[in-house]
Chain A
């Protein structure tokens, strides 16, 4: 049985990781390669690097960084942030990324999913969806880090993404992101019911219990988290040991 994946997410700005605490033995937590290697050694199953640079120079720096990550990391990694053209995808593939994630640009131009998937394969493409549940109970995808609503309903958009060729869905609930109150497990389970591709759960993890719940009741295939790892609230070996104790299939 394929193991449930634990994926730390690292934000990168102008070529440096942000939000990292000092881990023992790490010279420079701002160094994306060194921090990634630390997580890989700790048992992370994959890594996600998100470019939050707003500038063209920042993007160029990020591509150079992706080359260094590819040289230095022996587990799969996904890169995302600002990918809006086939050329962006090609540039990151050449730099050594195993997968890329697209978000806002795919909502503006859904054909981007088809173009990237048909050129480089579904295994290369993660569709990230930041959705917010409105007062009417409907989940709608948002863009630009959750700041702008779109007309895409979560379930329909996820199915459309799968049909267009996305290989995985990375779903973040903007109602839960940053709250550390746990994931909307029923929504994740409903999404799993409708999709045949893997689902990565993001946003809301505050405890081992939250992650266990989304991987079991929520039927997610992977859990992505940032702050609980970066701030050392829980280490990956400790998290994995506790998930194993709950009979969850973990590497």
Chain B
């Protein structure tokens, strides 16, 4: 059973639909026992990092998530809260699993913010991204990004290289939305469920 963590950060429907299309069994929950017993855990999220961390704390989830030993996938904001901290909302300490800080893109006439649309993955190195073609494209929507670091398992360029995906032990994160990235995204979700 896969647990999708519900911490009141945006709509979970598209993640649920993507898992349903793959024929996976899942539940949507904030119950620490259910989360801990699950084979895989997905931490989605749309919104701001400060609100996301506040909601996780309110639900008593930070120690539960840090203590997980099964595969965990943070998506978009869910990936960002697995990082060390975020400058969104002033300065927000996050869960500290990935050794990266989250900063805002600075818009310029040539650089649109939010970074929205399909962009290429480079420097892919992880089982999570197995089977993807070089330069495969995935769908992004975000204004904040994690810099590249030793935990980076894929990069994307938007004004500068940033972490499109991160991994630390059993924790994975994607800045992009695999559930909205067509066949490429489906492959990534399949890879995650096979971990």
Contacts from A to B (Cβ < 8 Å): 1-5, 40, 45, 70-71, 74-76, 93-96, 98, 120-124, 167-168, 192-193, 196-198, 221-222, 251
Q: Does B116 contact A (CB under 8 A)?
A: yes
Closest 3 CB pairs of A and B: A196-B107, A251-B118, A96-B13
Are the C-beta atoms of B182 and A74 separated by less than 8 Å?
Answer: yes
Q: Does B180 contact A (CB under 8 A)?
A: yes
Q: How near does chain B come to A248, taking the closest CB pair, in angstroms? A: 13
Are the C-beta atoms of A2 and B119 separated by less than 8 Å?
Answer: yes
* Cα of A96 to Cα of B177 in the assembled complex, Å: 14
Partner of B46, one of A3, A96, A123, A193: A123
Q: Which residues of B contact A123 (CB under 8 A)?
A: 46, 114, 116, 141-142
Q: Which residues of A contact B117 (CB under 8 A)?
A: 2-5, 45, 198, 221-222
Q: Which residues of B contact A221 (CB under 8 A)?
A: 112, 116-117
With an 8 Å Cβ cutoff, the count of chain B residues facing the other chain is: 38
Are the C-beta atoms of B114 and A74 separated by less than 8 Å?
Answer: no
Q: Which residues of B contact A251 (CB under 8 A)?
A: 118, 137
Are the C-beta atoms of A167 and B119 separated by less than 8 Å?
Answer: no
Q: How near does chain B come to A25, taking the closest CB pair, in angstroms? A: 18
Are the C-beta atoms of A1 and B119 separated by less than 8 Å?
Answer: yes
Partner of A3, one of B47, B137, B180, B185: B137
* Cα of A75 to Cα of B137 in the assembled complex, Å: 12
Q: How near does chain B come to A82, taking the closest CB pair, in angstroms? A: 21
Q: Does B29 contact A (CB under 8 A)?
A: no
